[in-house]
Amino acid sequence: MQWLEEELRRIQEQHLFRKRKLRESLKDFCSNDYLALRDHPEVKEEVIKTLKDYGLGSGASALVSGYTKQHKALEEKLSSFKEVPSCLLFGSGYLANIGTIPALASEGDLILSDQLNHASIIDACRLSKAKVLVFPHLDYQNAEELLKENRKHYRRCLIVSDSVFSMDGDVAHLPTLLRFADEYDCMLFLDEAHATGILGQRGKGIFEEFNLKWQERVILMGTLSKAVGSYGAFVCSSEKLIEYLINKARSFIFSTSLPPAICAGAKKAIEIAEREPWRVQRVKNLAESIYKELSKIGFSVKFHHTPILPIMLYSEEKAISLSEALFEKGVLLQAIRYPTVPKGEARLRLTASLRYTEEDLEFLYTSLKTLPHLPLTSLPFP
Ligand SMILES: Cc1ncc(COP(=O)(O)O)c(C=O)c1O
């Protein structure tokens, strides 16, 4: 097929070609397992025990026969951890977003979305058929102007933002978003994929970070696949809203529920995070020390007191060649390029994780210092 070869060549020429790397023989510095919970002995034990009881798959969607005590217990745990009345499990974060957002806003409604929201939010907005207005990243003045001009022309309004932006590590300003929701009669949807287990003293998320309490017009989505170290996702809000999603969110209705053992493992991981709040503080301290070390070496790194530390290279070609050079040394640090980030904003997305030992970090720093493309100090800050 001619078109296929041409497409692939075009992707290659733009330095945007993607390929997977087997992780086993590499030292992974880009996972989202921030709190090192995915292979915690208690988590593994809980998963094995539940697997023996239930077997592997759930067997059906939650509305057929795929809803078990394990699912219910995890939803209740999430609801108490997030301090929100009710939570609903989804198969993944992608599924949670593409199911929930179109259930909340459709034709005749308005969605206001931050420019750097995750791809699953962008796809969800497209699916919704609502009018979507995108404001420049964290530019709330611009967002308010859009609301002032447009809100009155639409029935419902939904403001959508990541809590922690996945490729930059910066944090949405919750008080401003809540004020918009109040003043312009909007719902506020927050994607807590990278905030759950990270923001706030105990990792509860953006409300704890800003010392605020959940409010009825807020819908919190989060994943179990990052700091919780498992798989799957959840949406938390009022009991009525969750009842509505059970009836309306197509990716919930028409998709098999999570395996029970995964639910049990995720619940155990949340219990460990609650019991050991030092993990949250330690990963943030670690992120700060990695940031300082990389800055000393001469890299331009973004740091917002979260574990996401993008090493900015801007050029797609440079990002891919550094990532390959690191791979040769045994370091897994993938190049993040368009369309995950805007063109000319390529980076290596390094993350802080409690998985790293002192030796791992020394290995990372030495590998970065001995890259063939140094000196990098000449790389411009934007
Ligand atoms: C902000 C954000 N939302 C949603 C997702 C999707 O979550 P999942 O990987 O569970 O599908 C991700 C993960 O890549 C993410 O970073």
In this predicted model, what pLDDT tens digit does every residue of 295-334 receive, in sequence order?
999 999 999 999 999 999 999 999 999 999 999 999 999 9
Q: Is 0.75 topped by the overall pTM? A: yes
Q: Rounded mean pLDDT of the chain?
A: 96
Report the pLDDT averaged over residues 36-64.
Answer: 98
User: Ligand 1, from 166, 198, 351: best to mutate by most atoms within 8 Å of Cβ?
Assistant: 166
Q: Which atom of ligand 1 is nearest to the CA of 223?
A: 10
- Ligand 1 centroid vs 336 CA: distance in angstroms? 15
pLDDT band at 373 (very low <50, low <70, confident <90, very high): low
Q: Alpha helices, DSSP H only, in the chain?
A: 2-13, 41-54, 69-82, 93-104, 119-128, 140-150, 174-183, 206-209, 239-248, 250-253, 260-275, 278-297, 316-328, 358-369
Q: Which atom of ligand 1 is nearest to the CA of 224?
A: 10
- Ligand 1 centroid vs 192 CA: distance in angstroms? 9
- Ligand 1 centroid vs 198 CA: distance in angstroms? 15
- Ligand 1 centroid vs 221 CA: distance in angstroms? 10
Report the pLDDT averaged over residues 253-258.
Answer: 98
pLDDT at residue 375 is higher than 90: no
Report the pLDDT averaged over residues 122-130.
Answer: 98
- Tokens coding 35: 């709190």
Q: Which atom of ligand 1 is nearest to the CA of 232?
A: 10
- Tokens coding 302: 């973004």
Over the stretch 170-190, which tens digit does the pLDDT of each residue have?
999 999 999 999 999 999 999
pLDDT band at 346 (very low <50, low <70, confident <90, very high): very high
Name the percent of the chain lying above pLDDT 90.
Answer: 96
* Minimum mean pLDDT range among 6-20, 79-93, 105-119, 214-228: 6-20
pLDDT at residue 79 is higher than 90: yes
Q: How high is the pLDDT of residue 374?
A: 54
Q: Whose CA is nearest to atom 15 of ligand 1?
A: 193
Sheet bearing 110-114, strands edge to edge: 86-90, 233-237, 218-223, 187-191, 157-162, 110-114, 131-135
Pocket of ligand 1 (CB under 6 A): 92-94, 97, 118, 120, 162, 166, 191, 193-194, 223, 225, 233
Contact predicate 74/230, CB 8 Å: no
pLDDT band at 372 (very low <50, low <70, confident <90, very high): confident
Report the pLDDT averaged over residues 243-266.
Answer: 98
- Ligand 1 centroid vs 251 CA: distance in angstroms? 15
* Minimum mean pLDDT range among 94-98, 246-250, 251-255, 369-373: 369-373
- Ligand 1 centroid vs 193 CA: distance in angstroms? 6
Q: How high is the pLDDT of residue 377?
A: 45
User: Ligand 1, from 31, 117, 223: best to mutate by most atoms within 8 Å of Cβ?
Assistant: 223
How many residues are recorded in the chain? 382
Query: Where do the domains of the chain lie, and which CATH numbers do they carry?
Result: 41-275 (3.40.640.10), 277-369 (3.90.1150.10)
pLDDT at residue 14 is higher than 70: yes
Strand 157-162 to 110-114 pairing: parallel
Query: Rounded CA gap, 344 and 364, in Å?
Result: 25
pLDDT band at 371 (very low <50, low <70, confident <90, very high): confident
